[in-house]
Structure 1
Amino acid sequence: MRTSQRPTADLPELTPGVTLVDIDSDLGVTPVLALLLDQVLGSDGRGNWVDGTNRANTTQLRELAPADRVLDRIDVARGFTAHQHTTLLDRLAGRLDSRDQPSVVVATGLDGMYRGADVDDELTEQLFIRAIAAIARIARVHNVPVVVTRCREDDFSRPLRRAAAAHLQCRATPFGPRFEDAAGDIETLVYHTGDGWMQTTLAYWQQVLEHRARMHEATTLERAAGPVGVQ
């Protein structure tokens, strides 16, 4: 579909620590995958995506990535039960302690496996708190952004909100996706402002990441060239 303007290349600037991102259901997981790819593009470290809703799809990562080589630095994993999910996050936290510095960790639907799990409520809550502790440990030890999403905002997911140092919202608007901080102040705008037809969400984020890839490549070349001397 056509557009009258190209998308801006802006995305939220993630800071070290746990960042909770609430996303309108119409947008799905795509905005968070865009953040994951952007962080990997702009660093030398690896990215890790842990899914808690049994919906991790590497096909979408491949479609979004501006270059296949970026995918070589992204690991994807998911657990199929509450116990598996908690163990996976525990193992990831321990494994990263002895590996190269990661650039970002993304945990989508962190509360998903613990809702309606085939264990009693008290144990479910304990497992969920342990999962939150694991992602907090990764953020603290490695001083990197850890981006998390949740299935629902309610009393059960409240501990995740308390553990997050930052809280963003990604809303679907008539002009495209819009990132805000939870207080309502605009964090980043990435949508078209013209009168043309909007692209599909996936194609839109593809364009944004292509812009970001060129920006990161230019910055890398500038660093490699070093300062220019004046005689």
Structure 2
Amino acid sequence: MIDLHEFLDKLNPNQKINYDKILQKMIKNWQLTTTRPKILLHSCCAPCSTYTLEYLTKYADVTVYYANSNIHPRAEYQRREYVQQKFIRDFNEKTGNNVRFLAAPYAPQQYFEAVRGLEKEPEGGDRCRACFGYRLDLVAAKAVELDFDYFGSALTISPHKNSQVVNSVGIEVQNFYTTKYLPSDFKKNGGYQRSLEMCREYDVYRQCYCGCLFAAKQQGIDLAQIRREALAFMQDKDGSTEFPEIKFVYHDEREQVE
């Protein structure tokens, strides 16, 4: 697999990096070598995964890893997880793709430890960088465990997320693992606008805050109301039983079935 350092090392260290162009070069190399890599893609919500999956599935086999213990409250985390699963199921049915879904355990205390001391940082500041690092570290570790070729994130589709920061964190995380980081800037080339279109096409719930307690408070979000709405939405819903066809199956589970 291609290490993005093959491209980064040729650049002027002071220049702003176009991560979208680097991804395009990597894709061209996959095509030249008739390679279809396996990507473990971090996704924080269905809206961020829309165009991202539409784009990547043309060239790679993708599994979405829902690793977002930053989301508060728990009921909202569960709602976003359910909507993410439903979108993947609907996307597969409409496009003929075979995207899989995997979720990390909900462990909010780990997130609070990761951002300890940064609670009052503004949105987009050091707290967000620590949060990116916490989640991408989980994705990279899981990518190694499950033998994926690349790990990456759909976060770069959001105009509210700094793609330079997300990618620089991903590159730092790569240095500790035997897997490769997938650079991206999915908002480019009309990606964000396409994500809005796809949310309408698939009737996808779009949340009003990134997910974390601290950003919600800074924005004046009524978290009690969010919780009530999420609990009402999730009544009689269970993604694990409703969408079993998208579940990522571990090797030992496959052996048991066979």
TM range (shorter): 0.3 to 0.5
Q: Give the helix-richer structure, 1 or 2.
A: 2
Q: Give the strand-richer structure, 1 or 2.
A: 1
Q: What TM-score, normalized by structure 2, do the two folds share?
A: 0.32
